């Protein structure tokens, strides 16, 4: 009989599907006489679950309870709690078997066969158990895979950061070696020039002695002395010639070294600037097409200033990435909200909503400029109406004297905005042939001459009635108006460049990502001597000045004045070398370790023009990064060739 009961219990156990789901269960026991053997509700947990019943686990059961449940006629009332479901499942079950589990802490397992349970509620229990059994391994696998992915991604980012830093270091080293080689050639050239002058002087003396010897050949003694002196001078001349030949060999060797350095520089520069461009591409939001202007500053997180969007668009066009530029233009042509008919200064890159409700004409003009560059490079005139619409909006701000106010709510006049407008009108005329744009351009130029180019001590004012020095107005005067036109209106482009370099060029300390402190030679936002903070190098405004030096070199190349060409090219190279030292590998997740440039050598400092530089001296700025590309590739955004 006992063996038969044991076989029946084993058979009951085999009926359970092992769905290991732990659910809290309240229960009480009824005996033979249908009275409660345990009047109080007790606590247990499911161990296994099947369609026909459950395995109930009870911790530290009393001996009395064990006696109750060991009765073959015992029936348990059950209340089973299911997570996330408000109403518990009620049921009753007959005891099929009881097992005490040995080990620390007493535990009892009771096999129950349902006697009474609602079919729908039973299905709910099974669905939960099966789902949990299926989901848990998947969740664990997903977590493991995610962990592996994050680990691999972190490892790849570390390798990418390391590789980028090595590329930047290589480029800096090559540039330094190139500068040293050029200096060697310059020193050798000077030494050669000195030797040649000495040789010329010797030749004059030799010719004089030779003439004297012939004249006084009748005086033998004197002739002998003259011959000896002539021989001595001839020997000295031969020695100088030997030195000159040695110097020529030395110069040839250094020149060959410089050529090899230039080849290496070209390769390493290309790699670095490709990574700089890639930083701009990974920051483009796929939903809006906008590019976040700054990394590292939580107060400007996700802000996309429209001036920066223009620069990013032009960088995409420079690399023939027209689809990216078109995506951005689509946003402004079809989706962006406007104020007073013009675009707001900034939008959120993620959803395209306005980030600030301020309208200035300068940033709007830059959007128009980007649209015109797109039209010029692709031949697609779909966004020409956008540029013309912006022109109509900003020209409503033109005063009787020809100057454009800063914005619909502004009463001030900015030189920078009017330089933008001069260039914008020029471009519109080139794209459309409509002389209306020439009329607007000439009025703006007249305003510039009367209001901002009217002092000899400060060649360019920041605005009407504002003599503050702003470095970008000097660079953009060269880039927008051009050296030839500046000369035509009585301005001296050389003096403009000299003034900017004398008052705005600085050498500032910059702490690199590896905590090394380096000196960067570049351009400040303003005249550094007027600010207590000391010199700060702006990556964007330094790049603007580099481009201006290149434009000046091209100007004098057309005139055939080689000395000026070499001078301006040398200055451009010197400041570009400084910018290379500012390249960082983006540490932010969005930057993906790509190369970029910070906004300035210091963060959170007064620019001198009414705003503070953003935080993040080791994180990227769209304006600084894009304009550095322009400087390197000699691309002038304020002109359509």
pLDDT computed for residue 158 by the predictor: 57
Name the more confident of 453 and 197.
453
52 lies in a domain? Answer: yes
Residues 160-165: what's their mean pLDDT?
58
In a shared domain, residues 112 and 158: no
Digit-coded pLDDT (tens) for 59-108: 888 888 888 888 878 888 888 888 767 788 889 988 888 888 877 667 88
HEC readout, 138-166: HHHHHHHHHHHHHHHHHHHHHHHHHHHHH
In a shared domain, residues 137 and 273: yes
pLDDT category at 285 given cuts 50, 70, 90 is very high
In a shared domain, residues 277 and 337: no
Asked if residue 350 has pLDDT above 60, the reply is yes
Digit-coded pLDDT (tens) for 289-309: 999 999 888 888 899 999 999
Digit-coded pLDDT (tens) for 559-578: 999 999 999 999 999 999 88
Residues 189-209: what's their mean pLDDT?
76
List Cβ neighbours of 7 (8 Å cut-off, separation of 6 or more). none
Q: What is the CATH number of the domain that holds 331?
A: 1.50.10.20
pLDDT category at 316 given cuts 50, 70, 90 is very high
Q: How far apart are CA 474 and CA 487, in angstroms?
A: 14
pTM over 0.95: no
Q: How far apart are CA 639 and CA 479, in angstroms?
A: 7
Q: How far apart are CA 490 and CA 454, in angstroms?
A: 10
Residue 358 — φ and ψ, nearest 5°? -120, 135
In a shared domain, residues 578 and 633: yes
Element housing 553 (H / E): helix 539-559
Residue ending a domain, among 426, 451, 476, is 451
468 lies in a domain? Answer: no
In a shared domain, residues 252 and 305: no
pLDDT computed for residue 245 by the predictor: 79
In a shared domain, residues 440 and 514: no
In a shared domain, residues 141 and 57: no
Beta bridge partners of 414: 463
pLDDT category at 141 given cuts 50, 70, 90 is low
Residue ending a domain, among 281, 302, 331, is 281
User: For residue 33, what are the domain limits?
Assistant: 2-117
**Per-residue tokens: 572:** 């451009």
pLDDT computed for residue 641 by the predictor: 78
In a shared domain, residues 110 and 48: yes
Determine how β-strand 42-49 pairs with β-strand 53-59: antiparallel
Residue ending a domain, among 451, 484, 516, is 451
**Per-residue tokens: 482:** 């051009």
Asked if residue 153 has pLDDT above 60, the reply is no
Element housing 534 (H / E): none
Q: How far apart are CA 364 and CA 389, in angstroms?
A: 10
332 lies in a domain? Answer: yes
Q: Kindly compute the dihedral angle of the four CA atoms of residues 112, 113, 119, 122, in this order, to the nearest 10 degrees.
A: 30
Digit-coded pLDDT (tens) for 501-557: 999 999 999 988 878 888 999 999 988 776 777 889 999 999 999 999 999 999 999
Of 177, 138, 270, give the one whose Cα is nearest residue 595.
270
In a shared domain, residues 298 and 440: yes
pLDDT computed for residue 259 by the predictor: 66
In a shared domain, residues 576 and 621: yes
Asked if residue 208 has pLDDT above 90, the reply is no
If you compute the radius of gyration of the chain from its CA atoms, what whole number of angstroms results?
42
Digit-coded pLDDT (tens) for 249-263: 777 776 766 566 666
In a shared domain, residues 389 and 504: no
Number of domains making up the chain: 4
Residue 54 — φ and ψ, nearest 5°? -135, 160
Mean pLDDT of the chain: 84
In a shared domain, residues 433 and 328: yes
């Amino acid at each position: 009989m006992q063996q038969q009961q044991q076989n029946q219990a084993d058979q009951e156990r085999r009926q359970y599907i092992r769905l290991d789901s732990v659910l809290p269960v309240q229960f009480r026991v009824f005996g033979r006489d249908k009275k409660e053997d345990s009047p109080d509700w007790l606590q247990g947990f499911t161990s296994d679950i099947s369609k026909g019943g459950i395995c109930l686990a009870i911790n530290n059961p009393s001996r009395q309870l064990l006696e109750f449940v060991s009765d073959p006629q015992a029936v348990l009332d059950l209340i089973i709690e299911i997570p996330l479901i408000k109403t518990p499942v009620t049921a009753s079950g007959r005891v099929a078997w009881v097992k005490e589990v040995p080990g620390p802490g007493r535990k009892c397992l009771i096999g129950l066969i349902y006697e009474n349970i609602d079919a729908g509620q039973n299905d709910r229990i099974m669905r939960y158990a099966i789902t949990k059994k299926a989901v848990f391994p998947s969740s664990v696998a997903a977590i493991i895979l995610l962990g592996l992915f994050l680990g691999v991604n972190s490892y790849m980012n570390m390798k990418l950061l390391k590789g980028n830093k090595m590329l930047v270091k290589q480029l800096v080293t090559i540039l330094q070696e190139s500068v040293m080689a050029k200096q060697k050639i310059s020193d050798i050239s000077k030494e050669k020039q000195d030797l040649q002058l000495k040789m010329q002087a010797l030749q004059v003396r030799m010719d004089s002695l030779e003439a004297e010897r012939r004249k006084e050949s009748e005086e033998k003694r004197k002739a002998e002395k003259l011959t000896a002196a002539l021989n001595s001078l001839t020997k000295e001349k031969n020695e100088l010639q030997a030195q000159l030949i040695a110097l020529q060999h030395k110069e040839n060797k250094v020149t060959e070294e410089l050529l090899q350095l230039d080849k290496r520089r070209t390769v390493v520069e290309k790699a670095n600037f490709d990574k700089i461009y890639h930083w701009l591409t990974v920051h483009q939001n796929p939903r809006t097409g906008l590019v976040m202007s700054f990394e590292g500053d939580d107060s400007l997180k996700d802000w996309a200033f429209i001036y920066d969007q223009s620069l990013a668009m032009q960088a995409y066009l420079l690399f023939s990435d027209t689809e990216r530029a078109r995506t951005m233009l689509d946003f402004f042509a079809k989706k962006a909200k406007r104020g007073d008919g013009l675009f707001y200064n900034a939008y959120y890159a993620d959803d395209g909503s306005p980030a600030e409700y301020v309208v200035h004409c300068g940033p709007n003009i830059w959007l128009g400029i980007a649209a015109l560059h797109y039209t010029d490079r692709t031949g697609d005139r779909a966004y020409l109406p956008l540029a013309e619409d912006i022109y109509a909006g900003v020209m409503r701000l033109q005063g009787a004297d020809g100057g454009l106010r800063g914005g619909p709510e502004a009463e001030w006049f900015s030189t920078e905005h009017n330089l933008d407008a001069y260039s914008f009108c020029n471009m519109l005329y080139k794209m459309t042939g409509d002389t209306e744009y020439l009329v607007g351009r000439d009025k703006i130029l007249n305003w510039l001459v009367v209001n901002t180019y009217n002092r000899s001590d400060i060649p360019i004012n920041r605005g009407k009635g504002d003599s503050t020095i702003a470095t970008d107005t000097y660079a953009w005067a060269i880039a927008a108006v051009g050296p030839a036109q500046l000369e035509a209106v009585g301005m001296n482009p050389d003096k403009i460049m000299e003034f900017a370099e004398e008052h705005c060029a600085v050498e500032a300390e910059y702490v690199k990502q590896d905590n090394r402190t380096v000196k960067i030679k570049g351009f400040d936002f303003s005249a550094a001597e007027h600010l207590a903070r000391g010199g700060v190098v702006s990556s964007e405004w330094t790049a603007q000045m580099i481009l201006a030096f290149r434009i000046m070199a091209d100007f004098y190349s057309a005139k055939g004045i080689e000395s000026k060409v070499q001078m301006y090219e040398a200055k451009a190279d010197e400041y570009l070398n400084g910018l290379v030292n500012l390249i960082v590998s983006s540490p932010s997740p969005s930057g993906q370790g790509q190369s970029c440039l910070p906004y300035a050598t210091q963060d959170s400092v007064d620019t001198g023009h009414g705003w503070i530089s953003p935080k993040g001296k080791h994180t990227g700025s769209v304006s600084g990064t894009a304009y550095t590309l322009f400087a390197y590739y000699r691309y002038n955004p304020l002109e359509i060739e």
